[in-house]
Amino acid sequence: MKNLILAIESSCDDSSIAVMDIDTKELLFCQKISQESQHKQYGGVVPELASRLHLEALPNILKNASRYFPQIRAVAVTNAPGLSVTLNEGIMMAKALSISLNVPLIGVNHLIGHIYSLFINRDFINDIMVLLVSGGHTKILYLQDDYRHIKELASTIDDSFGESFDKVAKMLNLGYPGGPIIESLAQQARPTIPFPIPLKQSKEIKFSYSGLKNAVRLAINQGIYSKEEIAASFQQAAITHLTMKLNKLFKTTQPPKHFAVVGGASANRALREEIDKLASKYKFDVLYPQMKYCSDNAAMIARIGVDMYHNQDFTHYKDLQAISKVSFDTEILS
């Protein structure tokens, strides 16, 4: 008889359930149903549609995990941040399972879940600086000891990195999600358009993507560039913005021992190449999630769920709620 945790993720447009061994941290089951094709025609996620699709997909996945039920010792579920209506689909299922299996319930912060995507099928590392690049967030976080000690060092003041790829893809009528589409188009042209690098003159470590997005819109309206040229030039400017700010950060503060990039956009190979260059320049160790765990998935929720289980970090079902926005303790960088 094993001791297992079952995890549920439904914070946006991916319905996913995973089962992990609490003692060995081995991932035994992970299934995900993405809703990308259904949201494609709208150029972004439509919350009510996403919620209805979770309602269909989650029970179908759960059926496939039912053989593990007798060994489940806890249920973990993403309860923040995300779309309230979609978070609630996962939360309701988690509450029902926790009550019927008579096991504790664990509420997981999705952003910290992304950090723990690094530790799926591998040991936990602390003292790690993390660049989180997803559809909803662009942040530099610092994980000191464990998930309870996370500081936010920098964030975006407007759009996020992944969101800017989605918006540029929408402007070019390329569908959703924009990240992988823009990345593959960018490989087919040279970045010849000199888009402005956001906040280039500012010493502050913070991010901004709305100005770049507007510059891309103007270039599209000129009607003289190919989609490939736009994609290549935009991607290069978007990545240069991140690496310029990281360069500024590492020049003024001690570079970390470990640095990681997580979140859906950490799958971007051009971004990984630039981060690898920084790693050899500043001599830090760099970590990325496996490609299949970059975008939203329940395996990362199970992985942090295991550590929360060991700390008995449980929430009573009456208290577990969907929270659409979260904040971390911040440390201002100059």
Work out whether 35 is an interface residue with ligand KG4 (CB under 6 A).
no
Q: Minimum distance from CB of 169 to ligand KG4 (Å)?
A: 8
Amino acid at 42: Y
Q: How far apart are CA 55 and CA 172, in angstroms?
A: 32
Residue 268 binding ligand KG4, by CB under 6 A = yes
Residue among 124, 163, 164 nearest 145 (CA): 124
Applying CB under 5 A, which part among 178-186, 293-301, 313-321, 325-333 lies near Zn ion?
Answer: 293-301
What is the rounded CA–CA span in Å between residue 244 and residue 242?
A: 6
Binding piece for Zn ion, criterion CB under 5 A, among 59-67, 80-88, 223-231, 288-296: 288-296
Task: Specify the amino acid at residue 281.
Answer: K
* Residues between 109 and 148 with contacts to ligand KG4, criterion CB under 6 A: 134-136
C-alpha neighbours within 13 Å on the C-beta side of residue 221: 6
Window 237-266: residues binding ligand KG4 (CB under 6 A): 263-265
Q: What angle do CA 53, 108, 72 make, to 5 degrees?
A: 80
Instruction: Give 329's contacts (C-beta < 8 A, 6+ positions apart).
Output: 150, 151, 152
Minimal distance, residue 183 CB to Zn ion, in Å: 17
Burial of 317 (0-12, 13-18, 19+ CB in 10 A): middle
Residues pairing with 34 in the sheet: 14
By a kind-dependent CB cut-off of 5 to 8 A, residue 90 interacts, out of Zn ion, ligand KG4, none, with none
Q: Name 175's Cβ contacts closer than 8 Å, sequence gap at least 6.
A: 40, 43, 169, 181
* The pairing of beta strand 4-9 with beta strand 14-21: antiparallel
Q: How far is the CB of 301 from ligand KG4 (least distance, A)?
A: 12
Shortest Cβ distance from residue 163 to ligand KG4 (Å)? 6
Compute how many residues bind Zn ion; rule: CB under 5 A.
2
Provide the β-strand partners of residue 67: none
Out of Zn ion, ligand KG4, none, what residue 128 binds, judged by CB under 5 to 8 A for its kind, is none
The listed partner (ligand KG4, Zn ion, none) that binds 30, CB under 5 to 8 Å by sort, is: none
Tell me how crowded residue 253 is: count the other CB atoms within 10 A of its CB. Answer: 13
Instruction: Identify whether the C-beta of residue 179 lies closer than 8 Å to the C-beta of residue 265.
Output: yes
Contact 133/153 with Cβ under 8 angstroms? no
Choosing from 134, 155, 233, 235, the residue that interacts with Zn ion (CB under 5 A) is 134
Q: For ligand KG4, which residue of 72, 296, 303, 322 counts as binding (CB under 6 A)? A: 296
Residue 159 binding partner per list Zn ion, ligand KG4, none, with a CB distance cut-off of 5 to 8 Å that depends on partner kind: none
What type of residue sits at position 142?
Answer: Y
Confirm or reject binding of residue 14 to Zn ion (CB under 5 A).
no
Residue 191 interaction partner, one of ligand KG4, Zn ion, none, beta carbon < 5-8 Å per kind: none
| Contacted by 219, from Zn ion, ligand KG4, none: CB < 5 to 8 Å by type | none
Q: Are the beta carbons of 305 and 20 closer than 8 angstroms?
A: yes
Q: Is 178 in the site for ligand KG4 (CB under 6 A)?
A: yes
Per CB under 5 A, 296 contacts Zn ion? yes
**Residue 180 lies near ligand KG4 (rule: CB under 6 A):** yes
Smallest distance, ligand KG4 to C-beta of residue 208, A: 16
By the criterion CB under 5 A, which residues form the site for Zn ion? 134, 296
Interface positions with ligand KG4 (CB under 6 A): 12, 134-136, 162-163, 165-166, 177-180, 183, 263-265, 267-268, 295-296
